[in-house]
Amino acid sequence: MSDILDLKGLNCPLPVLRTKKAMKAVPAGQTLTVEATDPAAMRDITALCETAGFTLLSAEERSGVFVFEIRQVA
Protein backbone atom coordinates (compact mmCIF):
# COMPACT_ATOMS: atom_id res chain seq x y z
CA MET A 1 0.00 0.00 0.00
CA SER A 2 1.26 3.45 -0.89
CA ASP A 3 0.48 6.74 0.81
CA ILE A 4 0.14 9.87 -1.33
CA LEU A 5 1.98 13.08 -0.53
CA ASP A 6 0.33 15.98 -2.38
CA LEU A 7 2.86 18.75 -2.96
CA LYS A 8 1.09 20.38 -5.89
CA GLY A 9 1.45 24.16 -5.91
CA LEU A 10 4.62 24.21 -3.78
CA ASN A 11 7.86 25.58 -5.21
CA CYS A 12 11.49 24.61 -4.70
CA PRO A 13 12.82 23.69 -2.18
CA LEU A 14 9.59 22.66 -0.40
CA PRO A 15 8.75 19.54 -2.47
CA VAL A 16 12.12 17.89 -1.84
CA LEU A 17 12.24 18.94 1.82
CA ARG A 18 8.74 17.63 2.53
CA THR A 19 9.46 14.42 0.65
CA LYS A 20 12.57 13.83 2.74
CA LYS A 21 10.62 14.46 5.95
CA ALA A 22 7.73 12.22 4.90
CA MET A 23 10.06 9.36 3.98
CA LYS A 24 11.25 9.19 7.60
CA ALA A 25 7.80 7.91 8.57
CA VAL A 26 7.59 5.30 5.78
CA PRO A 27 8.37 1.78 7.04
CA ALA A 28 11.05 -0.26 5.26
CA GLY A 29 9.70 -1.89 2.13
CA GLN A 30 6.70 0.46 1.89
CA THR A 31 6.21 3.12 -0.75
CA LEU A 32 5.24 6.76 -0.92
CA THR A 33 3.66 8.38 -3.97
CA VAL A 34 4.63 12.03 -4.34
CA GLU A 35 2.74 14.45 -6.59
CA ALA A 36 4.31 17.85 -7.38
CA THR A 37 3.89 20.58 -9.98
CA ASP A 38 7.27 22.28 -9.59
CA PRO A 39 9.41 21.31 -12.61
CA ALA A 40 12.51 21.31 -10.38
CA ALA A 41 10.99 18.42 -8.42
CA MET A 42 11.96 15.98 -11.16
CA ARG A 43 15.63 16.77 -10.67
CA ASP A 44 15.50 17.37 -6.92
CA ILE A 45 13.50 14.31 -5.85
CA THR A 46 15.52 12.06 -8.14
CA ALA A 47 18.72 13.40 -6.53
CA LEU A 48 17.23 12.96 -3.05
CA CYS A 49 16.54 9.29 -3.73
CA GLU A 50 20.09 8.74 -4.95
CA THR A 51 21.74 10.46 -1.99
CA ALA A 52 19.38 9.23 0.75
CA GLY A 53 19.28 5.63 -0.46
CA PHE A 54 15.59 5.50 -1.33
CA THR A 55 14.51 3.41 -4.32
CA LEU A 56 12.88 5.52 -7.03
CA LEU A 57 10.46 3.07 -8.62
CA SER A 58 9.05 5.53 -11.15
CA ALA A 59 9.09 9.21 -12.06
CA GLU A 60 6.78 10.57 -14.72
CA GLU A 61 4.79 13.61 -15.75
CA ARG A 62 1.02 13.31 -16.01
CA SER A 63 -0.71 16.41 -17.38
CA GLY A 64 1.66 18.84 -15.67
CA VAL A 65 1.92 16.85 -12.45
CA PHE A 66 5.16 15.05 -11.65
CA VAL A 67 4.44 11.72 -9.97
CA PHE A 68 7.10 9.78 -8.09
CA GLU A 69 6.83 6.32 -6.57
CA ILE A 70 9.48 5.95 -3.86
CA ARG A 71 10.29 2.87 -1.75
CA GLN A 72 11.86 3.10 1.68
CA VAL A 73 14.84 0.78 1.90
CA ALA A 74 15.96 1.07 5.53
Q: Which of 10, 12, 17, 40 is catalytic?
A: 12
d(C-alpha 37, C-alpha 14), whole Å = 11
Residue 12 a catalytic site member: yes
Answer whether 41's CB lies under 8 Å from 16's CB: yes
Dihedral, CA of residue 66, residue 68, residue 35 and residue 39, to nearest 10: -30
Residues annotated as part of the active site: 12
